Chain A
C-alpha cells in the first residue's frame, strides 16, 4: 500500500506489533557529520528550513556565529560554534551540526505516553508523528541529547526527521544535498562507518591522534554519527555528551514503575474487596445504640431533642 510505511519496528505507548513486513534488508541508514570538514557555512540549516518549509523567528546576535542560539521547534538543525584553545596554544574553531541523533534506543520513544506519536522505522529513523502528539513534553524530559522542542503555537514536539519523507523515496536528506565540503554524507550505517574509518585514519596521520567516530553505545548507537578530531573529549563540541544514555530515572519512570504501580493499585483494590468477602461489614447494632443512650442518661442530660 502506498503512503504507508509498513516498516515500523517500534511505536510509542504500543505493545502489540506495528506493520513491519518491510524491513531494511539493504541496511539501516546513517548520516555522518564530519566536524573536521565543516566550515560552518550553515547551508544545511538553510536546506533544512527550505525542504521542510520552516521559518524560524529572526534571532539576535549573542556574540557568536551560531544562529539561532539554540534548536527550536522550527530550527531542527543548528551549527554550534565552540572556540577551543588546544594545549599548543592554538585556537581551534570546532563546529558541530546539532540535531536529532536518531538513537537505536530512543529515550523519547520510551517516555512517550501517546500511542504512535513517535515511531522508529526499520531503517533506523526515529520520527515524530505530530498528529498523535499530545504535547506533554515527556520526550523532552527523556532525550539524552536535549533535542525535541515543544512549539509555542501548536504545543506539539518537533525535531529533525532525518528527512524521512525524502529517504522513503530514495533521496538523501536535504542537509546532505547542500553541504559544499562533503562534511555531510549519507548512506547505509555500515558504509558510513567505513567512510568514517578512512577519515579517522587520515586525521591520525595528520596529527589528530585522538580522532574518532562518535556512535555512542549507551543509546545502542546512533543513526547520526560524528567524526571528531578530539573523540576523547566530545564535550569540547558545544557540550556533546560523552556517554549518553537514557537516564536511570527515566528508565525507572517509564520502565519498571509502570507494571509495578498498576500491580500495587490492583492489589490494594482487591485487598479491599476480599476483606469485605471475608470479614463483612462493620455495623452498629442495637446494643451500641442502647449503650450510647444509657451513657447519655447516666450523665446530665445534654441538649438533644428526643
Chain B
C-alpha cells in the first residue's frame, strides 16, 4: 500500500502478535476445511486437500490442537484490552451505523471496538468447547462413553459453525475497513486510520507519556 509509505505511521500490531495471528489463521483454515470434510458428505472432497479421508481424520485433531495452543498465547497478550465498557454496549446498539459506514456517530473506540471484542470472546468460547469436545471425539487417543461422545459431537459441530461464521465476519471486516489488512500484515496504520477507527487509542498512544509511534 503505497499511500502509507513515506508518512508517519503508528505501530498497531507487534511482530509477535502478527506472527501468532497468521499462524492461528493458517491453522484455522486448515482445521475448518478438514473438519467440514468430515462434517458434511457434500464437502468430503475437501479431504483431497489433506491426502484423502484417512489423512484428514489423522490431521484434523492436531491442527485443532495447534490452533488452541496458539490462541492461548495470543489471548494472553490481548485479554486485558478486550474488556467490555459501557461505550461498547452503546457501539453494539448502534450496529446499523457500524454496517452503514457512519462511524462518526459511534462512541469513540479504544484499541479494539466492540465487534472485535465480540470476535475475541466468541473465539475463546468456541475454541474451549471445540477443544474439550474434540478430545472426547478423538478415538485414536481417548475413550469416553457414548453418553459423553454423542453430545460432544453435536457441540463440536455447533461451536465450529459459530466460530466459522464469526471468522467469516472477521475476515470480511478486515477487508472492508481499508488499512486493517495492512495493519495485521505489516503492523502499522496511518494516524488518520487510527483517528477514524480507534480515536481513544490514537490519543492514548500519541500522548507524550506513551511514545509508541514508529515508522515503516
Identify the A interface with B (CB < 8 A).
12-15, 113-115, 132, 134-138, 140-141, 146, 150, 155, 247, 249-250, 252-253, 257-258, 261-262, 264-265, 268-269, 272, 275-276, 279-286, 288-293, 295-296, 299-306
Contacts and interface: CB of A to CB of B under 8 A. Distances in A.
Question: For chain B, which range describes its interface: under 10, 10 to 19, 20 to 34, or 35 or more residues?
Answer: 35 or more
A268 B169 contact: yes
Nearest to A303: B211
A289 B197 CA distance: 12
Contacts of A115: 41, 44
Nearest to A306: B8
A11 B146 CA distance: 24
B149 interface: yes
5 contacts: A150-B139, A258-B40, A275-B176, A289-B195, A300-B208
Contacts of A302: 206-208, 211, 213
A262 B41 contact: no
B36 to A, nearest CB: 9
Contacts of A288: 192-193, 195-196
A299 B191 CA distance: 14
Contacts of B169: 268, 272
Interface centre among A136, A138, A252 (most CB of B within 10 A): A136
Nearest to B8: A304
Task: Please name the 5 residue pairs, one residue from A and one from B, whose CB atoms are nearest each other, closest first.
Answer: A289-B192, A13-B41, A272-B172, A134-B53, A292-B191
B168 A289 contact: no
Contacts of B196: 284, 288
B158 A257 contact: yes
Contact of B99 (A279, A283, A296): A279
B26 interface: no
A13 B154 contact: no
B161 A264 contact: yes
A285 B53 CA distance: 49
B123 interface: no
Contact of B192 (A146, A262, A281, A284): A284
Given A141-B149, A250-B150, A269-B168, A284 B41 contact: no
B154 A257 contact: yes
A134 B40 contact: no
